[in-house]
Structure 1
Amino acid sequence: MSLPVWVGLRYLAAKRRNHFISFISASSMIGMTLGVAVLILVLSVMNGFDRELRERILGMVPHAVVYERGGINDWQSLAQTVSEYPGVAGVAPMTRLQGMMGYGGRVQGIMVTGVDPDAERQVSILPDHMIEGDVQTLQSGEFGVLLGDLLAQHLRVTVGDKVTLMLPEATLSPAGVLPRIKRLTVTGIFSVGAELDANLAIVNLEDAAKLGRLSFQAQGLRVKFDDLFKAPQGVWDIVSTLDGDYYASDWTRTHGNLFHAIRMEKTMIGLLLLIIVAVAAFNIISTLVMVVTDKQADIAILRTMGAKPSTIMKIFMVQGISIGLVGVVLGTVLGIIGALTISDLVAWLEHLFGFKILSADVYFISYLPSQLLWEDVAIITASSMLLSFLATLYPSWRASRVQPAEALRYE
């Protein structure tokens, strides 16, 4: 082992006459540990929100929708054409209606989406998130409906109950102007853990056309892409090559702001939390400055024995880097453990105390997600070690400038 490493580690492990220096060293190490752990944990939670947005919200919301002015009369042929474009993973028809749903005196505004049960799995995660019933129960002419679990809880309905759908278009009758009303049978309940559970109802595509008194088969064609980030350009390329009066919309117009907000928050929170690590690095500077002052006589003796200024500098760099290394390693371990267990821990606390940290009525998901990305861990670890290294430069340089004659004058 080289002399600087041996002496630096010996200084780190030795008991100090000045206990305040030991306290500052310990606080520097603890600060580095907490800073790294919190940074890993918070960024993992932000990654979890980003993942849930992509997999849950955008698993139900179309990546893109192709519309034909006046409605699509032959969606099967158009779907066959669109599915042949590169990057397209699935195609399914869609019709949307807005209305209000009531049961037992309770009323809720909803979005009614008409789908083809056989094609829905190609573009949506809905079939995989049914908690009661099945998508295939939506048979044409039976006017069945699938409800989100939060909507079902609000209306207090279960499978088999009949709910009343009221559409905004008025109908003239001998009794006057009446809203269009239809009784639907609840055939299933789904839960995607998002805001859609509170305001979305799914019906058969043909039933939706009858409810809306539409003269066409579908309002639009949902298109799922292999890469959702290529959806805006991909759907534009599709529309520009189709023969007819087509236009399109994509997920960036409906949920793009939320996605970009999460990305920006992750960046800003990461930078702010990195300040905690920087504060711990400044504590390392304070520690080493005091150690240099305390060890001036030892430095002078080493110099008189032939140690070069670069050797003295390396000794104190080893000591400072060791403090930072221990803090970073402990913080990384704690951060990884926290990132892997935070979701289960929060769920346990919610169950224990009977409250919800994230309510689906307010947030777009109803639980605290976490996704640990090893590249984030690598960046945080490398950044923290870099700050620790930079923090050692000035005190080490100052130690190398100690003059033996001045330091030993009064010894």
Structure 2
Amino acid sequence: MIGRWPLSWSLARRFRRKQERSGFLSFISASSTLGIALGSMVLIAGLSVMNGFETMLEQRFLSLVPQVEFTAVKGTLRDPEDVIRKSLAHPQVIAARPVIRTQAMVQQGTRFTGVQVEGIATDQQRAITDYMDDEVWSTLQQTPRGVVLGKQLAADLKLSKGDSVTLLVAEQGSFREPRRIRLELLGTFSFGGQVDHQYAYVNLDTARDLIGVASGVTSVELEVRDIFAAQQVANEVGHELNDYLYLDHWMRSQGHLYRDIQLVRLVMYLVLVLVLAVASFNIVSTLIMTVQEKQRHIGILRTMGLRQSAVLRIFIWQGLQNGLLGIIIGAIGGIGLSLALPDLMKFIEYLTGRTILASDVYFVSEIPVSLQWQDVVLVSLIAVVMSALATLYPAWYASRTQVIQAIQRS
């Protein structure tokens, strides 16, 4: 004996096959399937791109930007070792590093260019070392008065390795002539974006000469396990410290980047869910016309003992067949488009001769993609739910068909 659900599925397939012979109904049905497929495909690919930018933000950009930072209100920290020790005692803190940050001007002839100078402890490995040659990093560790500039900044100033670089640093709260120090350019780093135009790295001793102090550091920066817990870590560690200092974290200084990504993700969800909703309306139209066309068949099936609930299931299954086909095509297409998107963008750049993501402006030079299977499942479930909701009214309308009136229809 055939079960209720298999019987409803078989009748739904038969109705759908006959529907495909009708040109107009077939066109509307194909439109709904294509709309769901396109909506699902674009939503999966879009979410993969947003995931890619978020991953690059977390793993690349935030590896260079201080995740948590404690900065002296004036001058240098009184006891940076105490700050480091108490910071490392927190379970979320991976590393704590002393830093000296200052603003300077690079003088090249009559030209002056602003630069952010960071004095770093060269006995500790840092993320910036991944973006410079090992020889440059080794030289910075060994050379007392050397500097490493961003690649684009060195190019703008027409400087090369071994050239002399003059830095001017103004003393805080003073109108006297700025402190002038001459350094040797040891090499360059290439991170991408504005960092390459604005940053310079020196060792801590050189940085102390720049700001005119004999010892100490201006800041201690922390690397944390969970970057989204940065604000909590800053507050918890800050309450344990005795120094009068500023508490800062990346969500305050760079959080707008993350919020922008989340905003674009939300807008993408809303727009493409509306696209899926419009495609689902075609399912409603198709089923309503199918119900009108199959009135006599429904009446005959009812006289043969088919219950109203079975009629309801028939048209739910018929509508879901359109939706499921579109979802399968959209999921496969979305996965393929996500994986092929970086190469596709390169091909478009080759054809147009234009760079979509310029490396001297953005910290990425190609579209980042991170395909996550939970996004594919989520998009598919949303499409299934919307397809199922679109079938409810036509299926209910079919189940309410009056048997005698339906049979009398010609």
TM-score by length of structure 2 reads: 0.90
Going from structure 1 to structure 2, the CA distance change for 1:245 and 1:16 (only over 3 Å counts) comes to closer
After superposition, give the CA deviation of every residue in 1:258-282 in whole Å (9 maximum; x if it has no partner): 2223222212221221111111111
SS in 2 for 1:357: coil
Which whole-Å CA distance do the structure 1 matches of 2:48 and 2:158 have between them?
36
Partner residue in 1 for 2:71: 67
- Which of 94, 101, 108 is residue 96 of structure 1 equivalent to? 101
After superposition, residues 389-400 of structure 1 pair within 5 angstroms as: 389-400=388-399
Partner residue in 2 for 1:199: 198
- Structure 1 residue 201, shift from structure 2 partner: 1.1
- Structure 1 residue 153, shift from structure 2 partner: 3.5
Partner residue in 1 for 2:289: 290
Partner residue in 2 for 1:41: 45
**What is the identity, as a one-letter code, of the residue corresponding to 2:40?**
V
- Which of 151, 155, 170 is residue 153 of structure 2 equivalent to? 151
SS in 1 for 2:115: strand
- Structure 1 residue 241, shift from structure 2 partner: 1.5
Partner residue in 1 for 2:92: 87
Which whole-Å CA distance do the structure 1 matches of 2:350 and 2:187 have between them?
26
Further displaced range: 46-55 or 67-76? 67-76
SS in 1 for 2:192: coil
Going from structure 1 to structure 2, the CA distance change for 1:314 and 1:155 (only over 3 Å counts) comes to same
- Structure 1 residue 410, shift from structure 2 partner: 4.3
Further displaced range: 252-261 or 157-166? 157-166
Cα contact 1:133–1:189 (8 A) shared by 2? no
Cα contact 1:98–1:110 (8 A) shared by 2? yes
- Which of 156, 163, 183 is residue 165 of structure 2 equivalent to? 163
Going from structure 1 to structure 2, the CA distance change for 1:214 and 1:350 (only over 3 Å counts) comes to farther
SS in 2 for 1:62: coil
Partner residue in 2 for 1:21: 25
After superposition, residues 266-345 of structure 1 pair within 5 angstroms as: 266-345=265-344
Cα contact 1:195–1:361 (8 A) shared by 2? yes
Moved over 6 A (4+): none
Which whole-Å CA distance do the structure 2 matches of 1:407 and 1:160 have between them?
93
Further displaced range: 2-11 or 299-308? 299-308
Going from structure 1 to structure 2, the CA distance change for 1:410 and 1:253 (only over 3 Å counts) comes to closer
* Identity in percent: 37
SS in 1 for 2:200: strand
Going from structure 1 to structure 2, the CA distance change for 1:313 and 1:190 (only over 3 Å counts) comes to same
Which whole-Å CA distance do the structure 2 matches of 1:362 and 1:194 have between them?
4
Q: Where does structure 1 lack aligned partners over 5 or more consecutive residues? A: none
**What is the identity, as a one-letter code, of the residue corresponding to 1:47?**
N
- Structure 1 residue 294, shift from structure 2 partner: 1.7
Which whole-Å CA distance do the structure 2 matches of 1:105 and 1:350 have between them?
38
CA RMSD, Structure 1 to Structure 2 (Å): 2.6
- Structure 1 residue 61, shift from structure 2 partner: 0.7
- Which of 107, 116, 122 is residue 121 of structure 2 equivalent to? 116
- Structure 1 residue 320, shift from structure 2 partner: 0.5
Partner residue in 1 for 2:264: 265
Which whole-Å CA distance do the structure 1 matches of 2:166 and 2:107 have between them?
5
Cα contact 1:48–1:370 (8 A) shared by 2? yes
Cα contact 1:56–1:194 (8 A) shared by 2? no
- Structure 1 residue 109, shift from structure 2 partner: 2.2
- Structure 1 residue 37, shift from structure 2 partner: 0.7
After superposition, residues 223-238 of structure 1 pair within 5 angstroms as: 223-238=222-237
Q: What count of residue pairs does the alignment treat as equivalent?
A: 404
SS in 2 for 1:134: helix
Which whole-Å CA distance do the structure 1 matches of 2:308 and 2:111 have between them?
82
- Which of 128, 131, 141 is residue 130 of structure 2 equivalent to? 128
SS in 2 for 1:71: coil
TM-score by length of structure 1 reads: 0.89
Going from structure 1 to structure 2, the CA distance change for 1:278 and 1:156 (only over 3 Å counts) comes to farther
